[in-house]
């Protein structure tokens, strides 16, 4: 992804989630994905899919069980 595309995605996510601390960072070894950070914390990856000329993006976020609040908390 080029810088313009990354900026467009970052702007979209900031507007969609109402959070200006979302930052997208290029991955040095991969052209079709960017890291998603919330402030300084890594929260996931966005993958670009360009199949048959139709471009889409998939956001993947892993949530560890140990990070979830206890039930009833």
pLDDT at 53 over 90: no
Mean pLDDT calculated for residue range 34-53: 94
DSSP code, position 65: G
Task: Classify residue 54: in a domain, yes or no.
Answer: yes
Query: Is 72 contained in some domain?
Result: no
Q: For residue 47, what pLDDT band results from cuts at 50, 70 and 90?
A: very high
Residue 6 has pLDDT above 90, yes or no: yes
Report phi then psi at 58, rounded to 5: -120, 125
For 13, 30, 34, 72, 73, the CA distances from 45, given in Å and listed in that order, are 13, 11, 6, 30, 29
**pLDDT value for 73:** 65
Does a structural domain hold residue 61? yes
What is the model's pLDDT at position 28? 73
HSE (side-chain half, CA atoms, 13 Å) at 25: 15
- For residue 13, the enclosing domain spans 3-67
Residue 31 lies in a domain: yes
Which residues are registered as beta bridge partners of 50? 55
Q: Is 14 inside any structural domain?
A: yes
- Asked if residue 13 is part of any domain, the answer here is yes
Number of separate domains in the chain: 1
Q: For strand 33-38 and strand 41-51, is the pairing parallel, antiparallel, or unpaired?
A: antiparallel
């Amino acid at each position: 992804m080029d810088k313009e595309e990354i900026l467009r995605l970052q702007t979209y996510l900031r507007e969609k989630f109402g959070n200006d601390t979302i930052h997208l960072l290029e991955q040095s070894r991969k052209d079709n994905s960017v890291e998603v950070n919330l402030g300084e914390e890594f929260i996931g990856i966005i993958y670009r899919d360009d199949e048959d000329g139709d471009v889409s993006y998939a956001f993947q976020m892993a949530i560890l069980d140990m990070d979830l609040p206890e039930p009833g908390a």
